[in-house]
């Protein structure tokens, strides 16, 4: 459990929306502090609200360096509007130049939802990938794969198991003695999903960002912890000025780092390693480097926090040349959840709470008419007191999904607040917009249906 008993369960059907508490307790960073290039409506409206190390990815983008985007889908039900938010973000990263990998979590779906692999494949293609194509992902720059058939993912997930243990799983996920073991393996497979795009075979070392709903953050915490525990070189702020680099001696590198089995130190090996560290720092342009092999540290007094990423990348490359995995902790972004139509959580197992991407217009109209409203109970009260767009589902869906014009949105927001627009009118505005959006989407799905297989990676066709 988290510090005061608060926990996020990625498999739960309930979901905390206390976002400031989540930011604080789990150490997410607020998105406001970054400057986002070509922000999408999700950024402009604060829907994407938090991140971990997104600056790494944005810096790479600015420098024209490569970066990856990875996300995953659980093929268990129909794709609904809520699922489209991650894809909007993926599309945004793709437009900025990121290469995109999408995991079909068929193993996870089988383990946690009882969906067979065949069924999982069918759902993934007809429900998800078909809609990704319609939502505008570029098939040339997207690779969809299945957990069950990508051995690199499973291999990594297994091998990295040495970097965690049951206590950590208990504290992150609240797992207990009776927890099914497949359920315990699922997060390790997801660790493999998240880290494998960095392997040489799948694109090599580069920042990889994982856009997800905040329910998936436990997996990111686990993965980031595992990646840093596997690193051979630790990089942190020095207690004096500058950056301090230390060695992380582990079974697999002990000999290379000069730790002999008899406990003695091989000074030549140590000197050699420290020589390589210094050489790499010189290549980055640093000249004042205090290398202290005896203490096992290198200090770069003139390096600032800003230099940390460059130093880290350089040393991860060095680690790889020396035979280590050289894994960079993944970056991530998080979005708020759109409220369910009923005012509760949106869920694919409760059709009344959401709009599926292939719902017909009659169904959508009915659903929006019945939606939870932020209006007053009588027209007189509403005119006098005004409505509350913050809880009004019709308004919220305009903001999250259907209306891309910020000025118009601001206009109806204030007209609702001061009672000029009635709750029924807000619903009608939403129905009209939703009809337009969904009709267009259905057309696009028909037009792009032939592209579905183009999204599949070579190993997944
Ligand atoms: N666990 C995710 C879900 O329940 C699916 C998933 C699998 C995923 N692997 C991933 C998400 C990697 C993000 C990154 O929807």
CATH number, domain with residue 39? 3.40.50.620
- The residue nearest atom 8 of ligand 1, judged by CA position, is 72
Decide: 331 in ligand 1 pocket, CB within 6 A.
no
Task: Give the chain's domain count.
Answer: 3
What is residue 424's predicted lDDT score, i.e. its pLDDT? 98
- Using CA atoms, how far apart are residues 129 and 73, in angstroms rounded to an integer? 10
pLDDT at 453: 97
Calpha distance 273→250 (Å, rounded): 15
Residues 400 and 298 in one domain: no
* 50 and 179 both lie in a single domain: yes
100 and 140 together in one domain: yes
pLDDT at 413 over 60: yes
Q: How confident is the model at residue 2 (pLDDT cuts 50, 70, 90)?
A: very low
The answer to whether the CB of 108 is under 6 A from ligand 1 is: yes
201 and 246 both lie in a single domain: no
Domain endpoint, select from 337, 366, 399: 337
Task: Check pocket membership of 210 for ligand 1, CB cut-off 6 A.
Answer: yes
Judgement on whether residues 224 and 307 belong to the same structural domain of the protein: no
**pLDDT tens readout for residues 4-61:** 557 788 988 777 788 999 899 999 999 988 999 999 999 999 999 999 999 999 999 9
Among protein residues, the one whose CA lies closest to atom 10 of ligand 1:
72
Q: Which domain holds residue 309?
A: 233-321
| CA 356/CA 220 separation, integer angstroms | 28
Residues 6+ apart with CB under 8 A from 299: 238, 240, 242, 243, 244, 245, 289, 290, 292
114 and 148 together in one domain: yes
- Distance (Å) from CA 186 to ligand 1 centroid: 10
Q: Do residues 170 and 222 both lie within one domain? A: yes
**386 in contact with ligand 1, CB cutoff 6 A:** no
Both 300 and 423 in a single domain? no
SS3 103: strand
Ligand 1 binding pocket mutation candidate from 143, 154, 185, 219 (most atoms within 8 A of CB): 219
Indicate whether 384 and 418 sit together in one domain. yes
The answer, yes or no, to whether any atom of ligand 1 lies below 6 A from the CB of 438, is no
Query: Would residue 346 count as lying in a domain?
Result: no
105 CA from centroid of ligand 1 (Å)? 6
What confidence score (pLDDT) does residue 1 get? 42
- What integer best gives the mean pLDDT of the chain? 96
Rounded-to-integer distance, Cα 50 and Cα 374, Å? 26
Structure tokens given for 136: 């505008």
Same structural domain, 249 and 225: no
Question: What is the per-residue pLDDT for 4?
Answer: 54
- Of the pLDDT bands very low, low, confident and very high (cuts 50, 70, 90), residue 148 is very high
Q: Which residue has the tokens 């079974």?
A: 251
Of ligand 1's listed atoms, the one at least distance from the Cα of 70 is: 14
Nearest one of 110, 151, 96, 104 to 126, comparing CA atoms = 104
């Amino acid at each position: 459990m988290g510090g005061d008993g608060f926990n996020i369960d990625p498999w739960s059907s309930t979901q905390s929306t206390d976002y400031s508490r989540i930011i604080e307790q789990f150490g997410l960073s607020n998105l406001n502090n970054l400057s986002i290039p070509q922000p999408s409506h999700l950024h402009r409206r604060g829907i994407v609200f938090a991140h971990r190390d997104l600056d790494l990815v944005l810096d790479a983008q600015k420098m024209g360096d490569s970066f990856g985007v990875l996300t995953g889908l659980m093929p268990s039900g129909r794709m609904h509007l809520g699922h489209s938010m991650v894809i909007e973000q993926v599309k945004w990263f793709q437009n900025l130049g990121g290469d995109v990998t999408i995991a079909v979590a068929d193993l996870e779906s089988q383990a946690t939802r009882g969906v067979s692999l065949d069924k999982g494949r069918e759902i993934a293609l007809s429900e998800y990938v078909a809609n990704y194509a319609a939502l505008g992902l570029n098939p040339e720059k997207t690779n969809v794969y299945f957990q069950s058939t990508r051995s690199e993912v499973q291999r990594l997930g297994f091998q990295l198991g040495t970097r965690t243990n049951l206590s950590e799983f208990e504290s992150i996920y609240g797992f207990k003695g009776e927890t099914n073991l497949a359920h315990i393996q699922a997060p390790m497979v997801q660790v493999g999903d998240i880290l494998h795009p960095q392997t040489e075979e799948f694109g090599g070392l580069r920042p990889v960002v994982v856009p997800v709903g905040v329910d998936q953050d436990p997996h990111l915490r686990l993965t980031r912890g595992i990646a840093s525990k596997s690193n051979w070189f630790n990089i942190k702020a020095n207690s004096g000025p500058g950056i301090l680099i230390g060695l992380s001696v582990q079974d697999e590198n002990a000999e290379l780092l000069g730790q002999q089995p008899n406990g003695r130190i091989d000074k030549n090996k140590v000197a050699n390693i420290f020589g390589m560290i210094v050489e790499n720092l010189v290549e980055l342009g640093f000249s004042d480097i205090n290398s202290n092999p005896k203490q096992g540290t290198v200090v770069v007094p003139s390096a600032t926090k800003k230099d940390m990423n460059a130093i880290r990348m350089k040393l991860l490359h060095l680690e790889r040349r020396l035979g280590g995995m050289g894994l960079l902790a993944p970056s991530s972004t998080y979005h708020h959840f759109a409220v369910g139509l009923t005012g509760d959580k949106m869920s694919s197992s409760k059709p009344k709470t959401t709009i599926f991407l292939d719902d017909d217009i009659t169904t959508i109209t009915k659903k929006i008419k019945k939606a939870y409203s932020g209006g007053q109970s009588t027209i007189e009260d509403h005119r006098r007191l005004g409505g509350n767009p913050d809880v009004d589902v019709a308004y919220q869906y305009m903001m999250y999904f259907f209306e891309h014009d910020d000025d118009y949105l601001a206009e109806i927001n204030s007209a609702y607040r001061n009672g000029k627009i009635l709750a029924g009118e807000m619903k009608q505005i939403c129905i009209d917009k939703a009809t337009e959006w969904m009709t267009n989407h259905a057309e696009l799905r028909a037009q792009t249906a032939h592209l579905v297989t183009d999204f599949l990676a070579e190993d997944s066709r």
